[in-house]
Amino acid sequence: MRESRKSYKSLLDPSIVSKLKSLDLIAKKVVEGFIVGLHKSPYHGFSVEFSEHRSYMQGDSVKDMDWKVYAKTEKFYIKKYEEETNLLSHVIIDSSKSMDYKHTGSITKLSYVKILASSLIYLMHHQSDATGLIEYSDEIKKFYPPKTTRVYTTTLIKEIANLTAGNATQTSACLGEISERINKRGLVIVISDLLDDPEKVMESLKRLTYGKNEVIVFQILDPIEKSFAFGMDAVFVDLETSEEMTTQPFQIQKSYQEAFGNFLQKIKSECLNFGIDYNLIDTSQPFDKALLSYFKKRRRLN
């Protein structure tokens, strides 16, 4: 039992799974570890199979009862029909140059995003959801509309595997354009470091909720971007402009933490005010934190 627990946790560890060569295999392993973890955790009730079910209500036909689920849970569930379960989902990835950063995290922010996005797409496919992919940096680079086929899922994951970080961040402008191109109600997942003007970012995130879209935001940071715990004298290089600045980090750490904390709090509180699910994730954290947040959201949409 102890070995099994260690095994599934390793499948959720960025430093371990990132060493696998195939992103498709990584996504499969991460989702497998996540599902095993659900059965071994306080969230035991969150079984993936229940995404295809809803609670029995008076008037439902007994012939639609799933007796196998009853045998496991001693609760009555009705199996949903296909039109009830399918969901349109858009996964939006920030591939700007600022994402190509790693200091104290296990992997770069972009590498973390690639694994998380692929795992989400893999999981959505097995929930029969139509899933699309959008990539942006200073402009929209790729726009794949949602589809459900296995071949399409493989195409999306291959596209993610080939992503490279480049160009400056234009998160607010790109999200604004994306909101105009999403013309059917569904689930929108934004994965970015959100290092842009917070006022403009929030305005664009709000626009994504128009048309009654449900929105989840995953803000991905390296741990040191929150702590600024560099210690010694350092030369800072802007990944997007190559501008350099020499400073003593310990002298400005307190001011930085206060300013950055205010930035994060603004994003979080504004998301809360507009019904957007907000998740702050750093690249040292296992992938189950993000996947569980998605899974809870997905259940609420059933």
Each residue's pLDDT tens digit, 250-259: 556 777 788 8
Task: Tell me the mean pLDDT per 10 residues along the chain, length 302.
Answer: 61 91 94 81 45 62 68 69 68 95 87 97 90 96 94 96 90 95 94 94 95 95 79 58 61 76 94 96 94 88 72
Burial state string for 9-35 with b = 16 or more CB within 10 A and e = fewer than 16: bebbbbeebbebeebbebbbbbbbbbb
Whose tokens are 């992103």? That residue is 23
Contact 109, 100 (CB under 8 A): yes
Contact 279, 216 (CB under 8 A): yes
pLDDT of residue 131: 96
Q: Where are the domains of the chain?
A: 2-83, 86-300
Alpha-carbon Rg of the chain, whole angstroms? 20
Instruction: Determine the longest span between alpha carbons in the chain, in angstroms.
Output: 71
pLDDT of residue 115: 97
Each residue's pLDDT tens digit, 117-151: 999 999 998 888 999 999 999 999 999 999 989 99
The residues, any chain, with a CB within 8 Å of residue 133's CB and separated by 6 or more, are: 90, 91, 93, 117, 121, 142, 143, 144, 156, 159, 160
Contact 223, 104 (CB under 8 A): yes
**Beta bridge partners of residue 278, listed in sequence order:** 217
Angle, in degrees to the nearest 10, between helices 109-125 and 150-161: 180
Structural tokens at position 301: 């949409």
If DSSP codes are grouped into helix, strand and coil, which group holds residue 146? strand
The residues, any chain, with a CB within 8 Å of residue 230's CB and separated by 6 or more, are: 224, 249, 250, 253
Length of the chain: 302
* Separation between Cα atoms, residue 40 and residue 19, nearest integer Å: 25
Contact 56, 76 (CB under 8 A): yes
* Separation between Cα atoms, residue 79 and residue 63, nearest integer Å: 10
Number of Cβ atoms within 10 Å of the Cβ of 237 = 11
pLDDT of residue 255: 77
* Separation between Cα atoms, residue 121 and residue 117, nearest integer Å: 6
CATH tag for 86-300 (out of 3.40.50.300, 3.30.470.10, 1.20.1250.20, 3.40.50.410): 3.40.50.410
pTM: 0.80
pLDDT of residue 73: 72
